[in-house]
Amino acid sequence: MNTPARLAGFAAAAAAVFGLALVGGRVVGPVADEPAEDGHGAHADRTPLTPATGRTEIPGGLMVAQDGYTLTLDADRAAAGADVPVSFTITGPDGVPVTSYEVQHEKQLHLIAVRRDFTGFQHVHPTLDDGTWSTDLDLTPGTWRLFADFKAAGGEALTLGADLAVDGAFEAAAPLEETRTALVDGYQVTLEGDLTAGADARLTLSVSKDGRPVTDLQPYLGAYGHLVALRAGDLAYLHVHPDGEPGDGATEPGPDVVFHTAVPSNGTYHLYLDFQHDGVVRTAAFTVTAGGNAAPAEESEEKHGQQEGESGGHAH
């Protein structure tokens, strides 16, 4: 039952039935989770994304290098403390540090620093000197993820990510509970809307202070809010901008700021809203679980289950 020949036969049949391509003896498509001939199944492989959803994009922030651009921290370790200097370069396809960037949201590069257990979040704008970016961060002990969100001149917008180990003893924080109301400096920010894998979600963030809606939000980097969403588990990064712009004649300066985004998968996301009022930028943090309808993938999921059941225990 579990011989490679049998698997190859199934794969060929599956390819015939589903019109899939056979590449190097492996099926590319919904049945790519078939146990491979090495007996391990393909779970650890980077499975090509299914035609069922048609999504082929890898979320931002998961890689140090992409499309020829590489993020390199000058040091991948740092001391804990306030105002710890951190510097890095982005090298381009020619291997040389990039010195020319396109401005996005008023800055050439946005740096997001998050402790991997989500207990710290900073959004800062480093300064560029001869290809080296420098900034100060407030760092507590633990592993931090740094995201460089930029668009090199002549390149595509990218977010590269790298880890920074910060010295000192620490305890990983307990997982964050679902939180749709954030309190920060006397402001209350609520989040309405549900995230669904692969589908556009409308999120409304409403800002109030002392029980009164805030109707005079100030533009921050060209918008009334900036929303960063990080997926629990791997910190896949999404940077979302709201509907409308300050001064477009239609967008009100609060209390609601409306965002549209599609998350790449179901699961838990940590969301950080940067907003400005009375001249101060503050961050409101939320934890939301994306659930909802994953129907397009269900049929192939079932096939996986059956095949795994048939070939369980097959190993060399």
Residues that bind Cu ion (CB under 5 A): 110
Q: What are 2's two structure tokens?
A: 């579990």
Q: Which residue is nearest to Cu ion (CB)?
A: 110
Q: Which amino acid is at 272?
A: Y
Q: What are 9's two structure tokens?
A: 């036969």
Gap between the Cα atoms of 94 and 107, Å rounded: 24
Nearer Cβ to Cu ion (27/224): 224
**Distance of closest approach, residue 225 Cβ to Cu ion, in angstroms:** 12
**Distance of closest approach, residue 274 Cβ to Cu ion, in angstroms:** 8
**Distance of closest approach, residue 312 Cβ to Cu ion, in angstroms:** 49
**Distance of closest approach, residue 133 Cβ to Cu ion, in angstroms:** 13
Gap between the Cα atoms of 17 and 258, Å rounded: 44
Gap between the Cα atoms of 144 and 162, Å rounded: 8
> Which residues are bridge partners to 199 per DSSP?
196
Are 289 and 267 contacting, i.e. CB atoms less than 8 angstroms apart?
Answer: yes
**Distance of closest approach, residue 77 Cβ to Cu ion, in angstroms:** 25
Nearer Cβ to Cu ion (42/285): 285
Please name which of 94, 128, 96 lies closest in space to residue 111, comparing C-alpha atoms.
128
Nearer Cβ to Cu ion (72/283): 283
Nearer Cβ to Cu ion (104/208): 104
Q: In a 10 Å sphere around its CB, with 0-12 CB exposed, 13-18 middle and 19+ buried, how is residue 208 labelled? A: middle
**Distance of closest approach, residue 239 Cβ to Cu ion, in angstroms:** 9
**Distance of closest approach, residue 263 Cβ to Cu ion, in angstroms:** 21
Nearer Cβ to Cu ion (105/209): 105
Please name which of 239, 73, 204 lies closest in space to residue 146, comparing C-alpha atoms.
73
Nearer Cβ to Cu ion (275/304): 275
Q: 27-65 as b/e, with b when 16 or more CB fall inside 10 Å?
A: bbbbbbbbbbeeeebbeeeeebbbbbeeeeeebbbbbee
Prior bond of 141 cis (ω within 30°): no
161 in helix, strand or coil? Answer: strand
Nearer Cβ to Cu ion (124/184): 124
